[in-house]
Structure formats: structure tokens, C-alpha cells
Amino acid sequence: MDKPIDLLRTEPALAWKLAVNILGKSEDSPDAHSARAEVREALLVKALIGTCDRSRSAYKKWDGAHWVLSILGDLGYPPGMKPCARSWKTHLIPG
């Protein structure tokens, strides 16, 4: 595993970024959809989602729901999923 691209392939959380941003696959391609599923199951992503709870501010730097959602979006987390929904409703949606 000498090539940097091979090293990137070892981290499931980077699968979508690798497919779309580096390998040039279309966001609607089967490879990109498969990569999104891989991202959703990545241990790093599950750990990030685990930080979304009601006991802290949604804007807490790096692990509040706002930050986590931003990072998940950047990693290509599948659209329509609601990983931090409880925290989002509690802290970000008025009323």
C-alpha cells in the first residue's frame, strides 16, 4: 500500500469523497451510491453521530449537532437520513 489513494481506500468514511472528488465519479453513479452506503456504516461516522445528544449545545465546537451535520454532509452521508434529528429539533428548530 504505497500509493496515497490506496491509503484513502482504507478509511470507509472517505469512500464518497474518494469516488466523487478524486476518481471523478458522478454523484448519481452506482459507485457514488455504494460509497454513500459505506460512509453511513463507517465507524468514524457512527462515532460522530454518537456525539449528537440533547445534553450539549447544537453549536458546541466540533461535536455539537451543527458541526456533526456539516461534517457528515462533507463526507457524503446519504441525503434523507436524520442522524442527529433529536438534537436538531431540540436546539435548532424554534417552537
Q: What is the pLDDT of residues 30-67, one digit of tens each?
A: 999 999 999 999 999 999 888 876 677 778 887 788 88
Three-class secondary structure of residue 58 per DSSP? coil
Considering only CA atoms, which of 21, 33, 22, 39 is closest in space to residue 77? 39
- The predicted structure's pLDDT at residue 52: 76
Q: What's the whole-number average pLDDT of the chain?
A: 82
Using a pLDDT cut of 90, give the percent of the chain over it.
37
Specify the pTM: 0.76
Residue 90 confidence class, pLDDT cut points 50, 70, 90: low
| pLDDT value for 69 | 85
Q: How far apart, in whole angstroms, are the C-alpha atoms of residue 79 and residue 61?
A: 23
- Cβ atoms < 10 Å from Cβ of 74: 10
